[in-house]
Amino acid sequence: MSVLLWGILPYVMVAVFVGGLIWRYRYDQFGWTTRSSQLYESRLLRIGSPLFHFGILVVVIGHVVGLFIPQEWTAAVGVTEDLYHLLALGLGTVAGIATLVGVGILVYRRRTTGPVFMATTKNDKTMYVVLVAAIIAGLATTVISVFGPHEEVTYRDTVSPWFRSLFILQPDIQAMSEASFAFQLHTVVGMLLFLIWPFTRLVHAFTAPVHYLFRPYIIYRSRDGRPSASRGIRRGWTAVGTPDRTSDRRVPGPGPNAVPGPGNPGAGARRKDRTGGGTR
Amino acid sequence: MRVMAQMGMVMNLDKCIGCHTCSVTCKQAWTNRAGTEYVWFNNVETRPGQGYPRRYEDQEKWRGGWELNGRGRLKLRTGSRLKRLLTIFSSPVQPKLEDYYEPWTYDYQTLIDAPLGDDFPVARPKSLITGEDTKITWSANWDDDLGGASEMGHLDPVVEKVRRESEDAIKFQFEQTFMFYLPRICEHCLNPSCMASCPSGAIYKREEDGIVLVDQDRCRGWRQCITGCPYKKIYFNHRTGKAEKCTLCYPRLEVGLPTVCSETCVGRLRYLGLFLYDADKVTEAASTPDEQDLYEAQLDLMLDPDDPEVIRAAREQDIPDDWMDAARRSPVYALAKKYRVALPLHPEYRTMPMVWYIPPLSPIVDLLRDQGHDAESAGTLFGAIEALRIPVEYLAELFTAGDTDLVTGVLRKLAAMRAYLRDITLDRERDESIPASVGMSGATMYEMYRLLAIAKYEERYVIPTAHYERAHELEELGCSLDFDGGPYEIGESGPFGEASGRPAPVAVETYQALRDRQTAGEAASSESLRGRVNLLNWDGNGAPTGLFPPRGEPDAPADEPAGDAPGGRR
């Protein structure tokens, strides 16, 4: 069991994650979007979304520091164990709670605002379950290590060495097996999240537009530079009032109105309605 | 000097009757899909009125376009790049659906399915967003023809501004008021703020013709462009999560056809043609300190296609000769720069918009006629333009950043043209002092009249075809295409059965055939299909070669139309 979870699953996860991202990037540029629902509702989004996103950014930084930097290094710089934990837990708790509250607001909004709920796919729902589970499990590890019984071995002696050992292809299964159940649960859910990541809307994180800071404002592009309509096209336009929009009502079927129309470049005429539920 | 070509449009507002045909045909062509129900790439607003989306001109609120910072340099109204990235998780001032309107349909099925009863069944309005019953409270042209102006007229941002700045308030008593229609499409700006706002760099301007497009593959739905565009002419497709905008019907323009809105315009008020401009000077012109000088600065960017130096520079930029020829015959250049009667919409946004408007003289003419004056005589008209401050101030807020002298000048030209032409039409002696009073010669004024009043299809739309011979061949013949996904075949089924694999792209061929069909007398040519017939393009005229398998005698002329073929003519 340990071998499966801590020795094999991580590599499966990496393979699916990286392979999936590459596949999606090559074949589903059109589906690669945030699918923002701000048009439907923006009052709750204005609070929830920044709370969640900034929270999770801090959490990511925390993970990187906690997992990558060995205990000896911080000790060498003069950061004592207690100071490190105070910082990590303080910052981690604040960021974790912000993330949880943020995602809570977003899920509440998604459930209660009619149009937003209608625009929510099965894919989204699955993703939310895994995401929230990962956040809760993660926050639980933090809370337990603050208020729970004091343990001699912390994650810096168990999870982190295991994590670093993965990169040299010699997984330290023993170290991870000694971690507490909360950490193990969080790790497994986290891996699950990364497994489904490439196939959900979460992919937008990988096209975070940092290059915006450096590009010129006005962009010229030649028509010949890139045949506008011959790029890989996956999704189709759907006609107004199609079945998935009028889910539980009488549906006259796509009918003659469902003729795909031409869209903007790169999304030219589609022969077939190809919109599946969420990502494909 | 870096000469670039820009496809531009001029709309003569005097001719707009507000029939919305342009909007409807545009919607049928481009935005009749789920996710774009509320989207009108082309819309017609009644002014004074709030417009679509409501009060989009209130940039204090929506923060669209550019402004000058303390050092006199251009910056987006939404702030610095970093600030925009930090607010990316929830775009601060994006219009909500209710600022446009909630699209709806009617439950027509009830009319057919309702059980027999005493009451007539009713088709209730259903929201296209939630699918629930809805109450229709607004639409893209809810205040059409000043509907509700007595209650909501003051909500027009331009009215607000004019009221603030002038002592005499705009009255919404109908006998005193004025009204005109303002059709709006994307401005295809020279200095587009939507493009500058786009974090992904998905919005681009085509080098060849200046059309501003959204790359649907690169757009990631960050929504910054919607805030960035001061005209609110970029829309968010809430189904695909991507931004969409007016394409100036680029597939039609590429084969020399006018845009759908122009083609179907009942009043024939739209003109399409090329501008040549100096791309190196755009930023400088857009940074002109005084807002009221922006019109002149924009006009100075437009280059004279007859100037030998411009011609030489255009050669260096590989602008083809037929494009130069089209630029010389361009009606939009003539109206904007030669006659100087077309004005840009809201130059104060500093985006250098490329859809120009000839301000309407008709509110003034109508008023004079109603009061029993001679609405055709130069003296009366000139006097009225001076006296009727409110329409002039309103127009100035729209077209010249508040410079009433400019608007007055244009209106005087239009008034002079009316008076001068009346003498010609009635075979009276021409009064050359009339054109002279607005700084034009009689001959020029007559030319302007020809262009404004009786220009034919070919004169209104001077559209050079695109030079994509190579790309065209590739697409049409279905050869393998070189791109990062590797070669693929057009028209063949993929490995997983019918229509699997990559779908065929929108074919240039379709638009070529459309043009052939519209301009040719006989059935559309099918040469390029190597003996096969594209049934989608077949207009029912006769039996083109390849429609049926050959009979016994191969020399029988199969492409002879079955009868007279009127369908091919317009």
**Is the same domain home to A236 and A188?**
no
Backbone angles phi, psi at B81, to 5 degrees: -60, -40
The residue among B452 and A276 whose pLDDT is bigger is: B452
Alpha-carbon distance B570 to B556, whole Å? 30
Cβ of residue B177 closer than 8 Å to a chain A Cβ: no
Do residue A80 and residue A190 come from a single domain? yes
Sign of CA dihedral B68, B70, B71, B77: negative
CATH code assigned at A123: 1.20.950.20
Q: Final residue of a domain: which of A213, A230, A265?
A: A213
Tokens describing residue B493: 């089924």
Question: pLDDT grade, residue A237 (50/70/90)?
Answer: low
In a shared domain, residues A18 and A105: yes
Q: Which two tokens stand for residue A205?
A: 């994180």
- Domain containing A25 equals 2-213
Residues A221 and A244 both lie in one domain: yes
Answer yes or no: do A143 and A253 share one domain: no
Residue A229 falls within a domain, yes or no?
Answer: yes
Let me know if residue A103 belongs to a domain: yes
Residues A183 and A244 in one domain: no
pLDDT tens-digit profile, chain B (570 residues) = 899 999 999 999 999 999 999 999 999 999 998 889 999 999 999 988 999 999 999 999 999 999 999 999 999 999 999 999 999 998 888 999 999 999 999 999 889 889 999 989 999 999 998 888 999 999 999 999 888 887 888 888 888 888 777 766 666 665 567 889 999 999 999 999 999 999 999 999 999 899 999 999 899 999 999 999 999 999 999 988 999 999 999 989 988 899 999 999 999 999 999 999 999 999 999 999 999 999 999 999 999 999 999 999 999 998 999 999 999 999 999 999 999 999 999 999 999 999 999 999 988 888 788 788 888 888 888 888 877 777 888 999 999 999 999 999 999 999 999 999 999 999 999 999 999 999 999 999 999 999 999 999 999 999 998 865 444 443 433 333 333 333 333 333 344 444 444 444 555 666 777 777 666 655 544 455 556 666 776 777 777 777 777 776 555 444 444 444 444 443
Nearest CA in chain A to B87: A50
| CA–CA separation, B570 and B434 (whole Å) | 39
Task: Kindly state whether residue A102 falls inside one of the protein's structural domains.
Answer: yes
Q: Is the pLDDT of residue A63 over 60?
A: yes
pLDDT higher than threshold 50 for residue A260: no
Angle at B362 between CA B357 and CA B365, to 5 degrees: 145
d(CA A181, CA A155): 11
Question: β-pairing, B180-184 with B43-47?
Answer: antiparallel
ipTM of the complex in this document: 0.79
CA separation for the pair A201, A278 (Å, rounded): 8
Taking CB atoms and an 8 Å cutoff, what residues of chain B touch A119? 238-239
Nearest-Cα residue of chain B relative to residue A262: B30
Output the pLDDT for position A241. Answer: 57
Same domain? For A98 and A177 the reply is yes
CB < 8 Å to A209, chain B: 85, 88, 199-201, 220, 222
Q: What are the tokens at B83? A: 């600030």
Across chain A, mean pLDDT equals 78
Residue B116 tokens, joined? 């027999």
d(CA B489, CA B473): 14
Q: Specify if A47 maps to a domain.
A: yes
Instruction: Look at residue A148 in the predicted model and tell me its pLDDT.
Output: 64
A18's tokens = 């990286």
Predicted pLDDT of residue A251: 36
**Local structure of B567: helix, strand or coil:** helix
Chain A touched by B504 (CB under 8 Å): yes
Kindly tell me if the per-residue pLDDT of A252 is higher than 50: no
Q: Across the interface, which of B191, B238, B468 has its CB nearest the CB of A223?
A: B468
Chains A–B, number of C-beta pairs less than 8 Å apart: 234
φ/ψ of residue B287, rounded to 5: -95, 10
Sequence letter at residue B299: L
pLDDT at A185 over 50: yes
Which tens digit of pLDDT belongs to each residue from A112-168?
A: 988 889 888 899 999 999 999 999 998 888 888 777 666 656 777 788 888 888 898
Answer whether residue A280 is part of any domain: no
B contacts of A277 (beta carbons < 8 Å): none
Angle between helices A181-196 and A122-147 (to 10 degrees): 160
Work out whether the CA dihedral B186, B188, B190, B191 comes out positive or negative: positive
State how far the alpha carbon of A280 is from the alpha carbons of A130, A198, B303, in Å.
18, 10, 50
Does residue A204 have a known ligand-binding role? yes
| Tokens 């786009």, residue located | B198
Q: Where are the alpha helices (DSSP H) in B39-192?
A: 59-62, 81-86, 97-100, 109-113, 149-152, 157-165
Domain closes at, from A165, A181, A213: A213
**A224, A204: one domain:** no
Which chain B residue is nearest to residue A120, measuring alpha carbons? B239
Residue at A221 is within a domain: yes
More confident residue, A244 or B405: B405
Q: Does B196 touch chain A (CB under 8 A)?
A: yes
Facing B89 at nearest CB: one of A30, A40, A49: A49
Distance from CA of A270 to the nearest CA of B (A): 6
Same domain, A55 and A190: yes
Residue intervals in chain B for CATH 3.30.70.20? 13-103+137-171+184-249
pLDDT of the residue at A17:
95
pLDDT at res. B521: 59
Q: In sequence order, what are the residues at sequence separation of 6 or more whose Cβ sits closer than 8 angstroms to the Cβ of residue B367?
A: B178, B384, B388
In the structure encoding, which two tokens stand for residue B246, read together? 């007016």
Give contacts of B 277-336 with A, CB under 8 A.
Answer: 282
Is residue A172 located within the same domain as residue A261?
Answer: no
CB contact under 8 A, A212 and B200: yes
| Same domain, residue pair A171 and A70 | yes
Under 8 Å between Cβ of B251 and B511: yes
What's the structural domain count of chain A?
Answer: 2
Asked if A128 and A30 sit in the same domain, the reply is: yes
3-state secondary structure of B458: helix
Give the one of B94, B129, B201 whose C-beta lies nearest to A219's C-beta: B201
Measure the CA–CA gap between B183 and B12, rounded to whole angstroms: 10
Give the tens place of pLDDT for each residue, A36-57. 999 998 899 999 999 999 999 9
Q: Which fold has domain B13-103+137-171+184-249?
A: Alpha-Beta Plaits (3.30.70)
Which range is most confident: A31-35, A243-247, B479-483?
A31-35
Q: How many CB atoms lie within 10 A of CB B220?
A: 25
Consult the annotation and say whether A211 binds a ligand. Answer: no
pLDDT value at residue B58: 94
CA diameter of chain B: 87
